[in-house]
A and B are shown apart, each in its own frame.
Chain A
Amino acid sequence: GESVGLHLPTLSVQEGDNSIINCAYSNSASDYFIWYKQESGKGPQFIIDIRSNMDKRQGQRVTVLLNKTVKHLSLQIAATQPGDSAVYFCAEKREGAQKLVFGQGTRLTINP
């Protein structure tokens, strides 16, 4: 959905644990979803994407799960490392639309 407010949701995890970042989307007609990672002062970096005809996709140390029934998207990061500290955004593209809609973002903090 659209960004709201000034306070990002925050997730703190221990180094080495798995992280799960969640995203709810609003439009059941969305057919393409992307996760981005943004480090402080930098542009977002593409992590992984998934199309609506799939419910799971794996990358290197990351997995994206899509639950169309409840319109929920999640990003799982295995064995979280200090370099994973960043803000993570989900984005959706609605079928027939020409643009991505970004969520508010979640700040992931890694505890040593």
Chain B
Amino acid sequence: DGGITQSPKYLFRKEGQNVTLSCEQNLNHDAMYWYRQDPGQGLRLIYYSQIVNDFQKGDIAEGYSVSREKKESFPLTVTSAQKNPTAFYLCASSSGLSREQYFGPGTRLTVT
């Protein structure tokens, strides 16, 4: 069964703690992306990666970090420096930067 998995679906953390969101794909896609979605709004790009061991900042990278050690995996860490971390986080992948992106089911993070 090919696709993108994100875990967990819901995540709760206390303010001041770092938290890592998982994203795995078995589509053999080169490019992977992380987006943030706030209620009633569109998607904003946090980070993206074209190939293993390489990644670039998106529009709202401050307070986030990523790694791309394997083609299949692109974990996102929400650090304590992120001022407003509560949001719905979406991971996506594509076979190239000019192709359609396929999205995972998302992780809803709540920080209190």
Report yes or no: A98 in contact with B40, Cβ–Cβ below 8 A: no
**Which residues of chain A have C-beta atoms less than 8 A from B35's C-beta?**
102
Number of A-B pairs, beta carbon distance below 8 Å: 60
Report yes or no: A103 in contact with B42, Cβ–Cβ below 8 A: yes
Report yes or no: A42 in contact with B105, Cβ–Cβ below 8 A: yes
Q: Interface size (B, Cβ < 8 Å)?
A: 27
Which residue on chain B has the smallest CB distance to residue A43? B103
> In whole angstroms, what is the CA distance A7 to B38 when docked?
11
Q: Interface size (A, Cβ < 8 Å)?
A: 25
**Which residues of chain B have C-beta atoms less than 8 A from A44's C-beta?**
43, 90, 103
Q: Which of A2, A34, A43, A45 contacts B42 (CB 8 A)?
A: A2
Decide yes or no whether B51 CB sits under 8 A from chain A. Answer: no
Decide yes or no whether B44 CB sits under 8 A from chain A. Answer: yes
Report yes or no: B42 in contact with A99, Cβ–Cβ below 8 A: no
Interface string of A18-53 (1 = CB under 8 A from B): 000000000000001010100001111110010000
**Which residues of chain A have C-beta atoms less than 8 A from B44's C-beta?**
2-3, 102
Q: Which of A6, A41, A100 contacts B41 (CB 8 A)?
A: A6
Interface string of B24-48 (1 = CB under 8 A from A): 0000000001010001111111001
Decide yes or no whether A54 CB sits under 8 A from chain B. Answer: no
What are 22 A-B residue pairs whose CB atoms fall within 8 Å in the complex?
A: A2-B42, A34-B101, A36-B103, A41-B106, A41-B108, A43-B4, A43-B6, A43-B92, A43-B103, A43-B104, A44-B43, A45-B103, A46-B101, A46-B102, A89-B42, A89-B43, A99-B33, A99-B45, A100-B101, A102-B43, A104-B42, A105-B42
Complex A-B, nearest 9 residue pairs according to Cβ-Cβ distance, in ascending order:
A3-B42, A43-B103, A102-B42, A3-B41, A6-B40, A102-B43, A44-B103, A98-B97, A43-B106
Residues of B within 8 A of A (CB): 4, 6, 33, 35, 39-45, 48, 50, 56, 58, 90, 92, 97-98, 100-106, 108
